[in-house]
Copies of this chain bind each other. A is one copy, B any other.
């Protein structure tokens, strides 16, 4: 709808993709507009037609990255068959998050690599979309505590921070073999799941 496929729109996309990669590799402070422009097949000056300033581009990349991860998360959940068990839903969420970081482009990774070194103004602007993303995970875990896929004896918010923190920490792992990530996902799901005894009869 707003996705009018104008030339500018397409160039902007190319820039954002190139920027995501640059930010993912070099972080906020180490990123170079020169390299971003080159990767987007533009001259540096041309970037400024699309983004007023470097921080403007950073802001756009952050929003883009979080939104991309959020969409991947909800899409992953929506793809779970209706008759799936709550456990399967939880695992789908974990898998989606990991996929956003490892199996897709660099948009989500860029966010993880930039957040801790952002200057205050950018951090503030970013926190809004970050919160929105956090709410999705909070929902997942809270519902899980109700439907029995998540242990109910811990604060959901804190649990969310642990889960998301652990997931994001995989971003710096070297070329993760799929197997490693799968095991990571499994283990995390196990930790989050209610302890066996607490699981109502039918579960075993």
Stretch of A10-18, A79-87, A165-173 on the interface side: A165-173
A17 to B23, CA, bound (A): 27
Interface residue? A26 (CB, 8 A): yes
Interface residues of A, Cβ cutoff 8 Å to B? 25-31, 112-113, 115-117, 151, 153-155, 158-159, 161-173, 183-184, 187-188, 190-192, 194-198
Q: Majority SS of interface residues in chain A?
A: helix
Q: What number of copies of this chain does the assembly contain?
A: 4
- Report B-chain residues with C-beta under 8 Å of the C-beta of A167: 165
**For residue A172, which residues in chain B have a CB less than 8 angstroms away from its CB?**
115-116
Cα of A31 to Cα of B117 in the assembled complex, Å: 10
Task: Verify B116–A113 contact, CB threshold 8 A.
Answer: yes
Cβ of A154 and Cβ of B116 under 8 Å apart? no
